[in-house]
Amino acid sequence: MSTTERAAQTLDLRAGELIEVRSAAEILATLDEKGELDALPFMPEMLQFCGQQFRVSQRADKTCDTIAHYKGRRMHRTVHLEQLRCDGCGHGDCQAGCLLFWKEAWLKRTDVSVGGDPLVQIKTRGTYNDAVDGAARSLNALLAHAAQTPDDEGVRYSCQATELLRASEPLQWWDMRQYLREVLTRNVTPGKFFRSFWFAFYAVVRRKLRLPRTFPFIPGKLTTTPTARLDLQPGELVQVKSRKEIYATLDKGSRNRGLYYDVEMWKFSGGTFRVLRRVEKIINEKNGRMIKLPNGCVILDGVFCSGERSTHRLFCQRSLFPYWREIWLRRAN
């Protein structure tokens, strides 16, 4: 792709701007033989949004590597749209619910709203735009084929999460331009910016004083972690237990039966939320294999990583859902 073509695909979108997702035929014209643009796949789950209007929630100039090193990564000409998440219908019904990445080449600015707030009624899981034409069906077939590659061990999936390292480039945490960019593009409010840097400074002081040396990573004390099963169902109200109660269930790796209790989950302690769904299977981003998550794992509605306290990946915009063991929750009245 020429420099002129790339420049034409750069909209320089900002949070809050109204856009329209281009038609399937237009998007198809931007993709290579793998169904990718700049190594980022356009997935079957995204077809249902073609021709609809949404607002930009954040630029995805910065994301995080959850495959190899858990550090920040740099992306270009990419945004997130307000809570448009993968429903997994094209990837073996994966339940991770990842926030979708959208290349600016797949979008166009619009000044006309279809009316009301929200702008559109998002279609139910597994359905696609009624206006899907022959080009879209071809695109769907292409991407479905690319997403499932059988080998001797079964199916290996390819999605935006598994290909994120190819679609991004390394970003050093000390490069101050990334933090300035987050404020200038309205990804991060000044209040969030200063709160995050205050916590980072506090964490450094705690480590220097060895209180503890690994802060904000606080290991548990158990060798065998306990379990509890509430059999929670979507829509039920739960309260997140206190940090002290949760620490009492963790091993030295800050995990309960392999599930990590992350610093980004701290702020939800004591809060009351609804169960969004149980999570039983997700795609392993490291190898593309579907894995099962047994023993009472759920995600909560509106509860996701904000990137405010993450070491070396501050202000990541992926908004990943944390997974909660049922022993970390209690039913709310």
Q: Which residue has the higher pLDDT, 332 or 146?
A: 332
State CA 198 to chain mean position distance: 25
Phi, psi of 145 (to 5 degrees): -65, -40
The answer, yes or no, to whether residue 129 has pLDDT greater than 70, is: no
How many helices and strands in the chain, by DSSP H and E? 6, 21
pLDDT band at 117 (very low <50, low <70, confident <90, very high): very low
pLDDT of res. 123:
39
For residue 79, name the pLDDT band (cuts at 50, 70, 90): very high
β-strand partners of 255: 260
Give the global pTM. Answer: 0.85
**Contact partners, residue 248, CB within 8 Å, separation at least 6:** 220
pLDDT of 174 = 86
Q: What is the pLDDT of residues 163-221, one digit of tens each?
A: 999 999 998 888 888 888 888 888 888 888 899 889 989 988 988 888 888 888 888 99
Task: Check residues 141 and 70 and name the one with the higher pLDDT.
Answer: 70
Query: Which of helix, strand or coil describes residue 44?
Result: helix
Average pLDDT, the chain: 85
Q: Are 314 and 196 in contact (CB under 8 A)?
A: yes
